[in-house]
Amino acid sequence: MTPDVMRWVLFWNILSFVTLLVITYLAVADVRLDWPRRILPWPLSWPLRLACLAGSLVWGAWYWLFVVRYDLWMKRIHWKAFSFIFANVLSIALSFLHPAYFMMMFGLYSIAFGVMPRRYAVAVVATTPFFMVARLIYPDRFTWAGVLDDFWLFGYGAAVILLGLWMHALIKQGQERQRMIDQLQETRGELAQRERQAGILEERQRLASAIHDTLAQDLTSIVMHLEAAEQSLEGDPQAVQQHIDQARRTARDGLTEARSFVWALRPEMAQREPLPRALERITAAWSAESGVPAEFATVGETRLLPPPVEVTLLRAAQEGLANVRKHARAGRVNLTLTYMEDEVLLDVQDDGTGFEAQRAYQPDEHGGGYGLLSLRERARELGGSFQVESEPGQGTTLVIQLPLGRPSGGNDAESQKEAA
């Protein structure tokens, strides 16, 4: 039952009890009424007035049991239909005591359609005019002329039946609409649950990518310097100290990166290092660590970029330099950041040994190769692209292109997560 129907039922129940109280007062006070025609002489004696009060109590008990608590009879509808016949007979009998009780029969029309199935309600409403006409022509002798005088009650009953059928259709339509709303809410709940699960999986993927791009590379660098220090233990103490110092600096940088990754959930733009300066610092640190000359250049007008774009470009530079150090055996590396009108590009170019470009996203025997695949996925998420251009003996160029459709300095949740 929809909320609108429940409010209507509550209103009608209150109206019915108020009407019963008014009619009971008219009967007990023996207010004179002449329609329908009185059967008992006026005024009534007190025993008859008390009988009216008892009849009102019986009628009110019937209404409470079979109308207000209609749900008790959902599986015994025929008993409810018989109870309405009883209510008609009771109303007719009470109208012999006082004519006001005749008015209660008009209320039975709409009540029947409110608490019974359509076919039972139609049957009850169709028989009610016969009780009413019989009461109106009593105690006169039955004549067709008398019936025709009160024939309007049959028209009234027909109109009530049509109105009841229309109300049934509206109620059924409301129930169907409510069912569709419930299904829609359930579907929305399932969709929200799936979106949460997808968000969790996406966040896991981002965490894996961030760990690979930061902590894993720092740990790799530390291992390489410690191994180099171990190999130089006997022959070159100064080189041992240099490798240890570099490993210590890398460990501290990794620790700083880890703390930033954990705590910097809402980075402000004023607290972040400008992208060109950060790329220049990364390039210089990598060159000092690896011993390979590396240069960074900026093309175009420098401007503020959305945090997800800046973070992705930083990760691309780190991944590109890490791959050069591990695989390229290059003599020189160039990084170029190009600002265009509606996009930004980053090139990481080396003159190393190169490889077959189609093998760029395939994992190697040591479990590597995830970084380039992660960068490609990051670029696609931001609406851009990531390409690897390489041939054996011709060096390698990594190119990442990202659009600038998002407003700079965005504070949405996704931007904050990416920046963190």
Q: Are residue 277 and residue 408 in the same domain, yes or no?
A: yes
Digit-coded pLDDT (tens) for 293-347: 999 999 999 888 888 888 889 888 888 888 888 777 888 999 999 999 899 999 9
The pLDDT value given to residue 214: 66
Domain-terminating residue out of 150, 172, 203: 150
Instruction: Look at the block and give the residue holding tokens 């774009």.
Output: 309
Query: Under a CB-based contact definition with an 8 Å cutoff, are residues 419 and 308 in contact?
Result: yes
Rounded Cα distance between 405 and 385, Å, is 14
Amino acid occupying residue 383: G
Indicate the pTM of the whole model: 0.44
CATH number of the domain bearing residue 340? 3.30.565.10
Query: Under a CB-based contact definition with an 8 Å cutoff, are residues 86 and 62 in contact?
Result: yes
The pLDDT value given to residue 101: 94
- In the structure encoding, which two tokens stand for residue 185, read together? 């809410």
Rounded Cα distance between 335 and 333, Å, is 7
Query: Under a CB-based contact definition with an 8 Å cutoff, are residues 293 and 330 in contact?
Result: no
The pLDDT value given to residue 330: 87
The residues, ordered by sequence, that sit 6+ positions from 26 with a Cβ below 8 Å of its Cβ are 33, 98, 100
The pLDDT value given to residue 361: 66
Closest CA relative to residue 375, chosen from 393, 398, 403: 398
The residues, ordered by sequence, that sit 6+ positions from 1 with a Cβ below 8 Å of its Cβ are 9, 175
Domain-terminating residue out of 101, 133, 150: 150
286 domain residue, yes or no: yes
344 domain residue, yes or no: yes
Q: Are residue 11 and residue 146 in the same domain, yes or no?
A: yes
The total number of residues shown for the chain amounts to 420
Rounded Cα distance between 383 and 372, Å, is 17
Query: Under a CB-based contact definition with an 8 Å cutoff, are residues 293 and 287 in contact?
Result: yes
232 domain residue, yes or no: no
Rounded Cα distance between 83 and 409, Å, is 73
State the residue range of the domain holding 40: 3-150
Q: Are residue 146 and residue 276 in the same domain, yes or no?
A: no
Report the DSSP beta bridge partners of residue 385. Answer: 401
The pLDDT value given to residue 26: 94
Query: Under a CB-based contact definition with an 8 Å cutoff, are residues 148 and 134 in contact?
Result: no
Q: Are residue 7 and residue 145 in the same domain, yes or no?
A: yes
* Helix pair 307-323, 370-381: axis angle to 10 deg: 160
Count up the domains in the chain and report the number.
2
Rounded Cα distance between 414 and 249, Å, is 31
312 domain residue, yes or no: yes
Reduced to 3 states (helix: H, G, I; strand: E, B; else coil), residue 142 is coil
182 domain residue, yes or no: no
Rounded Cα distance between 314 and 282, Å, is 9
Rounded Cα distance between 113 and 168, Å, is 8
140 domain residue, yes or no: yes
The pLDDT value given to residue 287: 87
DSSP notation for 265-324: SS--GGGSPPHHHHHHHHHHHHHHHH---EEEEEES------HHHHHHHHHHHHHHHHHI
Q: Are residue 282 and residue 143 in the same domain, yes or no?
A: no
Query: Under a CB-based contact definition with an 8 Å cutoff, are residues 174 and 2 in contact?
Result: yes
Rounded Cα distance between 91 and 56, Å, is 9
Query: Under a CB-based contact definition with an 8 Å cutoff, are residues 371 and 215 in contact?
Result: no
Given a cut of 70, the residues of the chain with pLDDT beneath it are 1-2, 5, 141-142, 145-146, 199-200, 202-203, 206-214, 256-272, 360-370, 405-420
The pLDDT value given to residue 209: 67
136 domain residue, yes or no: yes
60, with CB counted inside 10 A (0-12, 13-18, 19+), is: middle
Domain-terminating residue out of 150, 168, 194: 150
The pLDDT value given to residue 210: 64
